[in-house]
A = this chain, B = another copy of it.
Amino acid sequence: MAERDLIRAFERILRVRSERVLLASGDDAAVVRAGGVAVTSVDAIVEGVHFELDTHSPGDVGHKALAASLSDLAAMGAEPGEAYVVLGTPASFGESRAIELVEAMESLAERSGVTIAGGDVIAAPALTVSVTVVGWAGGERDLTYRQGAEPGHLVGVTGALGGSMAGLLLLRGADADLDEAERDALLLRHRRPEPQLAVGAALTEAVVGAMIDVSDGIAADAGHIAERSGVSVEVRLGELPLAAGVEAVARAAGRDPLELAASGGDDYELLFTAAPDRRETVESTARAAGVTVTWVGSVSAGAGVRLVGPDGRPVELSGYEHP
């Protein structure tokens, strides 16, 4: 199938979801009515580096590429807008798998209110999906940055951690005694992570200090907040919310469950800081968005991340920095 025919097949799958989008395909560029501030992030995933096709379906790959980009918009509290996709496929990948990939992307776009408004289809030696997402906000003040953490802030995290890494360990053969529902949930968490767009926007409105998505692991991501805000962030590992089944998988794989929760990336939960007097507002805001929040640490003057073990002693996590 020629590139042009494949592009036409994609155009039949894709829908425009906003009056903002004036021209989505068929010309040299897409045209979108703009206003306020545009919030733009780029992410790419490559077969053999970020995923393997023997554990991820084409649909998983398409979902994950778009989800990773949308998670960056969630971490800014921006309203999701448009996505632009470069799909690089080896000749062996074939037309039906390419269509399955784009259909899964469109399905996530639909649930997120996103329009896939442009793209490029190229030949590549390994399956490569590169996604640019654009979100919108009224102004700079309607966003949450990594730099807003202040001494005295509490550190919170949405949802549960370690699930994506546990799912990966299951795919790699970890033999944990899980019931089927728990196992499926962990696999889904790894293969089809959900960007926390609604809670990111709600937390931004409830005046959070700093925010970031947990893509490198909470320890590394807390480090990004510490660096950009010029503060020290303490994370109490014993209080990290573990996804159901993470302990069993960690045991089966000979790993520490707290390490999975602290250094396992791709959970796509949101890590944030807030002044103590915002505590109840944050909790009720998250509850209204259908999400739990756990308080896992605090911000103080200084620099860097301090990880504290369940016994109250400092912990060094080897390799907690994403390469």
A28 contacts B86, C-beta separation under 8 Å: no
Task: Give min CB distance, A211 to chain B, whole Å.
Answer: 8
**What is the 8 Å Cβ interface bit string for chain A, positions 1-33, against chain B (1 contact, 0 not)?**
011000000000000000000110011111111
Given contacts A28-B72, A44-B86, A46-B123, 10 further A-B contacts (CB under 8 A): A23-B145, A27-B145, A28-B73, A28-B75, A30-B41, A33-B37, A35-B35, A40-B132, A49-B122, A132-B132
Q: Is the CB of A29 within 8 A of B135?
A: yes
B35 x A30 contact (CB < 8 A): no
Q: Which residues of A contact B (CB under 8 A)?
A: 2-3, 22-23, 26-46, 48-50, 72-73, 75-76, 78, 82, 84-86, 88, 117-120, 122-126, 128, 130, 132, 134-136, 140, 143, 145-147, 212-213, 228, 323
Question: What residues of chain B lie closer than 8 Å to A82, measured between beta carbons?
Answer: 40
B41 touches A118 (CB 8 A): yes
Residue contacts A-B, CB under 8 angstroms, 7 given: A28-B146, A33-B37, A40-B84, A42-B118, A84-B132, A88-B128, A125-B126
Closest 6 CB pairs between A and B? A34-B34, A29-B41, A28-B72, A132-B132, A28-B75, A34-B38
Mostly, the A contact residues are strand
Cα–Cα, bound, A2→B35 (Å)? 37
| Complex CA–CA separation, A120 to B128 (angstroms) | 13
B125 touches A125 (CB 8 A): yes
Complex-state Cα separation, A217 to B27, whole angstroms: 16
**A101 CB → nearest B CB, Å:** 16
Q: In whole Å, how far is A105's beta carbon from the nearest beta carbon of chain B?
A: 14
- Select A42's contact among B26, B85, B145, beta carbons within 8 Å: B85
Q: How far is B134's CA from A273's CA once the two chains are assembled, in angstroms? A: 32
Task: Give Cα A29–Cα B69 distance, bound, in whole angstroms.
Answer: 9
A147 touches which of B27, B126, B136 (Cβ 8 Å): B27
Report the separation of the CA atoms of residues A130 and B45 in the bound assembly, to the nearest whole angstrom.
12
Q: How far is the CA of A75 from the CA of B46 in the complex (A)?
A: 31
Known: A128-B128, A130-B130. A88 touches B44 (CB 8 A): yes
Is A32 a contact of B27 with CB atoms below 8 Å? no
